[in-house]
Chains A and B, each alone.
Chain A
Amino acid sequence: MTVRELAQALALEPVCEAEPDREVTGGYTGDLLSWVMGRAQSGDAWVTIMSNNNVIAVATLTDVALVILAEDVHPDPGVAELAERKGINLYRSPEAAFPLCAKVAALL
């Protein structure tokens, strides 16, 4: 399933659609960035409530397919532009993290 297909299926709101044709191969959720850094895998859909610039650095380094800001979190100022510069797929959703993760898991 591609990022675009996943985003459509979950009605995600795009913040930055840098590479929507990228394949999603798994999922990860977490907000402690060191934890995510060590465990998220390339190709994952990463669900988080963290909204600062460092999310984009972690997404770049772990090579996740997309980041989903759950729980109606909005990206901090400048994060959308940074995602654009780094080529990171960034979306947001009003849904709580748990049901969102369950839906991601069911779709993959």
Chain B
Amino acid sequence: MAALHFHFDIDGEDFSSAGEASVEMKKKLRQLGFPSDVIRRCSIAMYEGEINMVIHANGGNADVDVYPDKIVIVLEDHGPGIPNVELAMQEGYSTATEQIHNMGFGAGMGLPNMKRYTESLEIETQVGVGTKLTMVVAV
């Protein structure tokens, strides 16, 4: 069955509006009648990705494909890339600045949360080129 596709541009300039795409996706999933647990897991995964793109990569794109049995979220940016993925996956590890910490972010929970709340998380990254995350949430 063909997927429903949603595309979102993540604005890297405006940190205060970060989360807009996640809120929009949540609304669409709710309209489509998905169970609240599925919507919650998608929202958490997408929000963490969105915040990461704003903090580290000056924004990017999010593409969400909705199937009856799964939701696939692809986040792509042209930021600095992740030099050490294993380190970045550790809870508590963060390269965010003091200013970001003061806003309540940079706890080093982003990627771990994405992994925890999805069935799979695939990271393709190249230093100086960008990062592509593919996450699957089963319905």
Contact = CB atoms under 8 A, between A and B. Distances in A.
Residue of B36, B44, B104, B109 contacting most chain A CB atoms (<10 Å):
B104
A102 interface: no
Nearest to A48: B104
A60 B19 CA distance: 9
B104 A31 contact: yes
B22 A33 contact: no
Contacts of A34: 48, 51, 105, 107, 109-110, 113
A32 B19 CA distance: 15
Dominant secondary structure of chain A at its interface with chain B: helix
Interface stretch (A20-28, A50-58, A92-100): A50-58
Given A38-B109, A38-B113, A60-B23, A54 B43 contact: no
Contacts of A31: 104
B26 interface: yes
Nearest to A79: B16
A54 B22 contact: no
Given A57-B22, A57-B47, A61-B23, A33 B105 contact: yes
Interface in B84-139: 103-105, 107, 109-110, 113, 116-117
Interface residues of A, number: 21
Nearest to A41: B40
Interface in B16-68: 16-20, 22-23, 26, 36, 40, 43-44, 47-48, 51
B103 A54 contact: yes
A63 to B, nearest CB: 8
B107 A37 contact: no
A38 B47 CA distance: 10
A69 to B, nearest CB: 13
A61 B43 contact: yes
A49 to B, nearest CB: 9
A61 B15 CA distance: 17
Contact of A38 (B26, B103, B117): B117
Given A37-B47, A37-B48, 8 more contacts: A34-B105, A37-B113, A38-B117, A42-B36, A54-B16, A54-B103, A58-B19, A61-B43
